[in-house]
Amino acid sequence: MKLSSFTDKKYIDLRAPAAGKTDVIASMVKLLGGSRQVRDADAFLQDVLAREELVTTGVGYGVAFPHAKSDAVSGVVFAFARTVEGVDFGALDGSPVRLVFLIGAPKVQEPSRVYLNLMARLSFLMKDEGNRANLLSAESTQEVFSLLDSVK
């Protein structure tokens, strides 16, 4: 599974403004709104925020994975944002978030499996402190892609 195949350089933002959690998610949904996988950005945003309401996706160590299965999405896709300053995601460890992966998938079953695989691998990648440091210091989207594809 090549992680970079589920995103595009257009969906990577290394200088996202440090607004609130909802604003960060909304700006990322807007990025993906230009993709062929997201048919209705507004509906997708509502689905992501509804999932976020259940339990925060701020898993700790400065990383969050807002996500949703949505009828507004036709294929598995993700965006990445690195915020200028930490954002309060209500994370499990209380720490502010700077690394955000927004993941979308359709509701049908088989793509859903791909989506869970993708989240598991991104989560695995971000458990490593060195990988997080590399993302925090990356100066280009190419560096981000290289890191993403370092995990099988």
Partner 1 sequence: MRVTLPRRRPRGGTSGSTGLKVREYMTSDVVTVGRTANVAQIASLLREHRITGVPVVDDERRLLGIVTHEELINIFVPHYLSMFDDLAFLDDLSGIEAQTMAEIEPSLFLAEDVMVEGPVTVRPETSILKVAALLTNKKLVLIPVVDDGNRLVGVINRSDVSCALAGATPKEPE
Examine residue 49 and tell whether it contacts partner 1 (CB under 8 A). no
- Of 54 and 139, nearer to partner 1 (C-beta) is 54
Examine residue 141 and tell whether it contacts partner 1 (CB under 8 A). no
Minimum Å gap between C-beta 59 and partner 1 is: 4
Distance CA 35, CA 47 (A): 17
- In the list 20, 90, 92, 136, the residue contacting partner 1 (rule: CB under 8 A) is 92
Residues with a known catalytic role: 67
Q: HSE on the CB side for 38, CA within 13 Å?
A: 28
Examine residue 1 and tell whether it contacts partner 1 (CB under 8 A). yes
Minimum Å gap between C-beta 32 and partner 1 is: 18
Examine residue 123 and tell whether it contacts partner 1 (CB under 8 A). yes
Q: Which stretch binds partner 1 (CB under 8 A): 15-23, 24-32, 59-67, 138-146?
A: 59-67
**Of residues 62-91, which lie at the interface with partner 1 (CB under 8 A)?**
65, 67, 69
SS (H, E, C) the chain: CCHHHHCCHHHEEEEECCCCHHHHHHHHHHHHCCCCCECCHHHHHHHHHHHHHHCCCEEECCEECCEEECCCECCCEEEEEEEEEEECCCCCCCCCEEEEEEEEECCCHHHHHHHHHHHHHHHHHHHCHHHHHHHHHCCCHHHHHHHHCCCC
For partner 1, the binding residues (CB under 8 A) are 1, 51, 54-55, 57, 59-60, 65, 67, 69, 92, 107, 109-110, 113-114, 116-117, 119-121, 123-124, 127, 152
